[in-house]
């Protein structure tokens, strides 16, 4: 296995300014290695039986939004009418039905469901009911441990929230990002603080088992004062979970297009050190309010009660059927991604094809690295887990990067467990590259 033995030096300042590029590591190997030539392997795997009781998740992607945020790098559609959205739902159901007939998936009951986007809450009450009734007819989820649903606060009415709750959603995730109307507007968000207040209050009232709030540290015009107010406001709402991202500016964002037009290399947002400080201060404030830090991005009010099944199952190697345009999945050890343009996606499904655009079959070593780096994002990795699951001594395999990162103060290692320091946790995504195979280092995450 060719894990790099001479570590890539990490500057202690850590990318002082925010420049263009993807920072967040969400999978391994990097997407740029996924290849249309590997799609036949994924199709072959679907014709085999799955191992008994292997966990399965179902993801459905809804690519519609009211408005494109300036920092958004997803392919989203803001111009689709009801008929076009209905046609998309029909195609999604057809895709799910095709999967439901495959030997690898037939008769399996999902452990977790995830509606992501885009903006799942952009759909009307009728569209949501139509979509979910038909999904459940293929993959019943009444017994799923978790049904997660992403929302943009301005799309939520009381009636729609009631409907989302009655569909069986257990984890409602609100894309708040900031509580200040001026900052929301400057960053191109469609919602405002009044909509956050109203939707959160009603969601709480009707008893979702878990409400998550997303925040972004370092939006355009963010200041110390505003960030402190955002954190205080989030604490006062007492959500079950808060997810904090550090603002990054990938290539296809409106912010980057403006930068390029004006010949700028530095994005008009805080530098990385400031963003890390803001997250660290937020972590401290949440901990003082009784929350627990459960990953590089999350604090949770009651870790015993509030789990995130989707993340933990996926990062532990579960199967996940990704459906809808551009969605990512992981089936029988093979990464897959669907067609990322809605036209191509609809055409493939209409032709009776599974709309997989590219795939990557991971080998045992890549599977190990994938799980290892994803678990490090939770703050620690247990040697025992990897020696049992992969029969590999992680301490030996990663001896050089572990020593290097330990010397830099990013982690500690007691022989059985690697623990990231606060400093390491706050910049974990840029440290993970140390554990990549040589051929995957310096790859663009796109």
**Beta-carbon neighbour count of residue 347 at 10 Å?**
14
Minimal distance, residue 179 CB to ligand SF4, in Å? 16
Asked if 89 contacts 120 with a C-beta cutoff of 8 angstroms, the reply is no
What minimum distance in Å lies between the beta carbon of 212 and ligand SF4?
Answer: 14
Alpha-carbon gap, residue 291 to 242, rounded angstroms: 9
When asked if residue 74 is in the footprint of ligand SF4 (CB under 6 A), the reply is yes
- C-alpha gyration radius of the chain: 21
Site map for ligand SF4, 397-436, x if CB under 6 A? Answer: ----------------------------------------
Tell me if residue 185 falls in helix, strand or coil.
helix
Positive or negative: CA dihedral 381, 383, 389, 391: positive
Instruction: Count H helices and E strands in the chain, helices first.
Output: 17, 15
Q: Which of 345, 354, 351 is nearest to 326 (CA)?
A: 345
Taking CB under 6 A as the criterion, the residue among 45, 50, 56, 65 binding ligand SF4 is: 65
Other C-beta atoms within 10 Å of 296: how many? 22
Output 76 or 349, the one with its CB closest to ligand SF4.
76
End-to-end CA distance of the chain: 25
Site for ligand SF4 in 148-177 (CB under 6 A): 152, 175
The contact pattern for ligand SF4, residues 101-140, with x = CB under 6 A and - = no contact, is ----------------xxx---------------------
Segment near ligand SF4 (CB under 6 A), from 40-48, 72-80, 192-200, 342-350? 72-80
Nearer to ligand SF4 by C-beta: 152 or 195? 152
3-state secondary structure of 424: helix
Nearer to ligand SF4, 252 or 380 (CB): 252
Question: Footprint of ligand SF4 on residues 187-246 (CB under 6 A)?
Answer: none
Q: Which region among 27-35, 68-76, 215-223, 233-241 touches ligand SF4 (by CB under 6 A)?
A: 68-76
Q: What secondary structure letter does DSSP report for 60?
A: E
Residues that bind ligand SF4 (CB under 6 A): 65, 68-69, 72, 74, 76, 117-119, 152, 175
């Amino acid at each position: 296995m060719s894990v790099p033995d001479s570590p890539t030096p990490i500057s202690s300042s850590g990318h002082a300014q925010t420049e263009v590029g993807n920072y967040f590591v969400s999978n391994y190997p990097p997407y740029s290695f996924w290849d249309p030539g590997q799609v036949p392997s994924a199709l072959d795997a679907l014709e085999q039986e799955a191992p008994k009781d292997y966990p399965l998740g179902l993801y459905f992607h809804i690519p519609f939004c009211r408005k494109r945020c300036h920092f958004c790098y997803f392919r989203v559609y803001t111009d689709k009418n009801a008929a076009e959205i209905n046609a998309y739902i029909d195609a999604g159901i057809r895709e799910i039905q095709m999967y439901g007939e495959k030997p690898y998936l037939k008769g399996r009951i999902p452990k977790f469901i995830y509606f992501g986007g885009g903006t799942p809450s952009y759909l009307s009450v009728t569209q949501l009911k139509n979509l979910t009734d038909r999904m459940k007819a293929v993959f019943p989820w009444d017994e799923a441990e978790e049904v997660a649903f992403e929302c943009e606060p301005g799309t939520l009415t009381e009636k729609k929230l009631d409907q989302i709750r009655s569909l069986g959603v257990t984890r409602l995730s609100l894309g708040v990002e900031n509580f200040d109307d001026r900052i929301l507007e400057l960053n191109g968000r469609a919602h405002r603080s009044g909509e956050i207040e109203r939707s959160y209050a009603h969601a709480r009232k009707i008893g979702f088992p878990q409400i998550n709030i997303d925040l972004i540290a370092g939006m355009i015009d963010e200041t110390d004062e505003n960030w402190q107010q955002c954190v205080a406001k989030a604490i006062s709402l007492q959500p079950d979970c808060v997810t904090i991202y550090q603002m990054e500016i990938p290539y296809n964002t409106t912010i980057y297009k403006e930068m390029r037009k004006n010949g700028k290399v530095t994005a008009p947002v805080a530098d990385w050190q400031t963003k890390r400080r803001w997250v660290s201060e937020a972590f401290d404030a949440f901990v003082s309010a009784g929350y627990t830090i459960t990953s590089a991005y999350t604090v949770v009010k009651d870790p015993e009660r509030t789990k995130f099944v989707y993340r933990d199952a996926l990062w532990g190697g579960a199967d996940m059927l990704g459906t809808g345009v551009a969605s990512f999945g992981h089936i029988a050890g093979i990464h897959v991604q669907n067609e990322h343009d809605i036209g191509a996606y609809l055409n493939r499904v209409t032709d009776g094809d599974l709309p997989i655009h590219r795939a990557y079959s991971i080998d045992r070593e890549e599977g190990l690295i994938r799980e290892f780096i994803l678990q490090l994002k939770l703050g620690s990795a247990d040697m025992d887990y990897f020696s049992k699951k992969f029969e590999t001594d992680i301490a030996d395999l990663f001896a050089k990067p572990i020593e290097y990162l330990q010397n830099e103060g990013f982690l500690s290692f007691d022989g059985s467990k690697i623990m990231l320091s606060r400093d390491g946790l706050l910049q974990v995504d840029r440290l993970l590259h140390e554990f990549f195979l040589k051929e995957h280092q310096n790859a663009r995450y796109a």
